[in-house]
């Protein structure tokens, strides 16, 4: 894959942690020019300093990385991200829409500002970045990727806003793929399933405050680094859809064939989480 990624210009949103950070590191190892986008510019600059040191033997690294402070929920930030990328590198080959937030609360208790927050970041962030990057991706016959979740295929209880936002991203990208079926644009929907990251630590509760700790055993999940490697292979092979983990694949299969049973299994699984808002 080094031959494929050598000097490719790749934007990764949500680049400061989790799958985003792992992807940035992996793309850099493959020789790509990487643009890191996230809300914390300090974190991004520290990451780039480490990457430059790590890959100092891979030739000149000074011009291979670019940090851009970006809140994807803000259209102007997304527009600026694309403009600054093209200003530096002159093109865009891959856009990885990875930035996202989660939540855990039943809808009847949910403050609607939480629903707005998740739609603004997860859905609108993908729309804004894709809209402004699209002319350059069409020119390069490049790839636009949406990192969703199993929750973008089946509704997860106590994750109403999260599922809604990921369903919306999937619908948007599926339509985009069909619209550009004959002009070389590659669109990939990527659903990693449960991945070890900090997304559950900062997931929003019913009132919009972060829950502070994960309700799941992160050690038993797929690592962000492995997800990043699979993501890179999927882009290189121009896959249209990828669902990872046996649990994710089994959930999709079951939801199509035994939906009522799947509903009960999902409910029980989520109700058994520590401090679950669902009744056991």
| Catalytic machinery residues | 162
Q: Is 111 helix (H, G, I), strand (E, B) or coil?
A: coil
> How many residues does the structure list for the chain?
280
Q: Are 270 and 276 in contact (CB under 8 A)?
A: yes
Q: Is 178 helix (H, G, I), strand (E, B) or coil?
A: helix
Q: Where are the alpha helices (DSSP H) in the chain?
A: 2-5, 18-29, 41-54, 75-89, 112-118, 125-140, 160-179, 224-236, 246-257, 259-271
d(CA 227, CA 91): 26
Cβ neighbours for 249, distance < 8 A, ≥ 6 positions apart: 243
Beta bridge pairs of residue 96 = 12, 145
Which contiguous run of DSSP H or E holds residue 69?
strand 65-69
d(CA 10, CA 32): 7
């Amino acid at each position: 894959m080094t031959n494929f990624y050598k000097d490719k210009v790749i934007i990764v949103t949500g680049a400061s942690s989790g799958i985003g950070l792992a992807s940035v590191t992996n793309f850099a190892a493959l020789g790509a020019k990487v643009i890191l986008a996230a809300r914390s510019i300090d974190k991004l600059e520290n990451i780039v300093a480490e990457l430059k040191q790590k890959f100092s033997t891979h030739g000149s690294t000074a011009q291979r990385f670019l940090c851009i402070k970006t809140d994807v929920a803000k259209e102007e930030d997304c527009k600026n991200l694309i403009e600054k990328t093209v200003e530096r590198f002159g093109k865009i080959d891959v856009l990885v829409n990875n930035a996202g937030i989660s939540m855990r609360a039943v809808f009847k208790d949910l403050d609607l500002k939480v629903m707005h927050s998740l739609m603004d970041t997860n859905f609108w962030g993908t729309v804004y970045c894709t809209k402004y990057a699209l002319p350059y991706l069409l020119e390069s016959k490049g790839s636009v990727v949406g990192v969703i979740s199993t929750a973008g295929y089946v509704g997860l209880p106590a994750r109403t806003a999260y599922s809604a936002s990921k369903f919306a991203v999937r619908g948007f990208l599926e339509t985009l793929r069909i619209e550009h079926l004959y002009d070389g644009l590659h669109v990939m929907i990527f659903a990693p399933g449960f991945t070890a990251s900090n997304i559950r630590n900062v997931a929003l509760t019913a009132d919009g405050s972060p829950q502070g700790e994960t309700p799941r055993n992160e050690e038993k999940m797929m690592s962000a680094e492995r997800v990043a490697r699979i993501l890179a292979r999927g882009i290189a092979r121009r896959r249209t859809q990828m669902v990872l983990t046996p649990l994710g694949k089994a959930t999709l299969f079951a939801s199509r064939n035994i939906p009522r049973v799947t509903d009960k299994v999902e409910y029980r699984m989520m109700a058994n989480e520590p401090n679950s808002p669902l009744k056991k």
